[in-house]
Copies of this chain bind each other. A is one copy, B any other.
């Protein structure tokens, strides 16, 4: 039997999805599982999108253009304009989710052995896409104690060498909920400029900023327009994770030409997803406001609740809908698995994502979990109660 590839061996299992078999087994035993592990909002998708779906009257469900429909890209131009990001439709390439945008950005810009600097904890699948492209992630630590703020310039410069090709950020951040300040973004801009790096910026959570702080996009940074690749997706802003519609945006025509070759090879982004996403943009503003207000509530509920559980600590996330929290346990991965295999409280348990999978530094985040606040408040409250009970019962409990 021939061997699988080295990259396949190196590929981590998704910390978000790896415990799914245990959750499924728990459900088969009749246990209710609160899913705090995954950024799958329970909020309705926009009515205009759902309506468009019902009204598709095509006879043939055919390929769409490799770069996505022009009408959709033109609407996106206006959308970004509202965030003071000035684009033309040609700057936008529609991808199969934000995931494909990251993969194609890496494949187009990075050679095997090239290094990307990413503040950790970071979205776990960046690691997977880097491995797919043969690139190497150099993590720069951010800590729960400092609220996951960006380390000083010197820390970045310590990591920069001749193989360094890019910095990647997620802003607002998944998994920490951190929002980079103007000062931090300028610091990144200066580094990108000084060392002529790519800046990959995943900004899929821009709708979800709760502190009144300004949203500084990588596209707002002057003088590095040709270095910036923006990663986007409608999954979160429209609660449409399943339609797999994202975008890769750059003013750099060389990158766009390169990315288009990968896009042509996979032929077409999803046809129906594009129709739904385009229609969702017509949704009245109430939708965004209600969704936003709902997350504000849930965030308060989760963070207050977590910080009231003895031994737990979560900073207050400024954006997105996650937090990385410290738990009073020996090993959060063991604890998360145990919650699914050995524990239930009145027939209920919860699933969280062990945070270690969001770090590349061995041992980092060992007693942390990522929690998504994508469930309704009553479910979140109940899940917090179940978490408290689980921590009381867990044999590996460790109090500071």
Contact = CB atoms under 8 A, between A and B. Distances in A.
A66 B18 CA distance: 11
Contact of A240 (B7, B61, B108, B125): B61
Contacts of A146: none
A80 interface: no
Given A1-B196, A14-B265, A270 B241 contact: no
A241 B269 CA distance: 10
Given A4-B258, A11-B258, A128-B262, A60 B44 contact: yes
A241 B9 CA distance: 32
A288 interface: no
Interface string A260-282: 01101111111111001000000
Interface in A166-194: 166
Interface stretch (A35-43, A300-308, A318-326): A35-43
Nearest to A197: B2
B270 A273 contact: yes
B107 A5 contact: yes
Interface size, A (range): 35 or more
Q: State the oligomeric state as a number of copies.
A: 2
A270 B254 contact: no
A226 interface: yes
Given A53-B272, A54-B54, A109 B5 contact: yes
A59 B99 CA distance: 23
A75 B248 CA distance: 35
Given A2-B227, A5-B107, A14-B264, A271 B254 contact: no
A65 B40 CA distance: 12
Contact of A108 (B5, B50, B112): B5
A258 to B, nearest CB: 4
B49 A107 contact: no
Nearest to A276: B61
Contact of A62 (B40, B55, B110, B132): B40
Nearest to A165: B2
A5 B242 contact: no
B258 A8 contact: yes
A367 interface: no
Contact of A11 (B59, B128, B262): B262
Most chain B CB neighbours (cut-off 10 Å) among A38, A60, A166, A261 = A261
Interface in A3-42: 4-9, 11-14, 16-18, 20, 38, 40-42
B100 A266 contact: yes
A122 interface: no
Given A11-B258, A38-B63, A60-B45, A2 B267 contact: no
Instruction: Please provide the 10 A-B residue pairs with the shortest distance between their CB atoms, ordered closest to farther.
Output: A242-B271, A128-B265, A8-B258, A14-B264, A11-B261, A99-B266, A4-B258, A63-B241, A125-B265, A61-B242
Given A2-B196, A8-B109, A14-B264, 6 more contacts: A2-B198, A14-B261, A20-B65, A40-B63, A112-B112, A242-B270
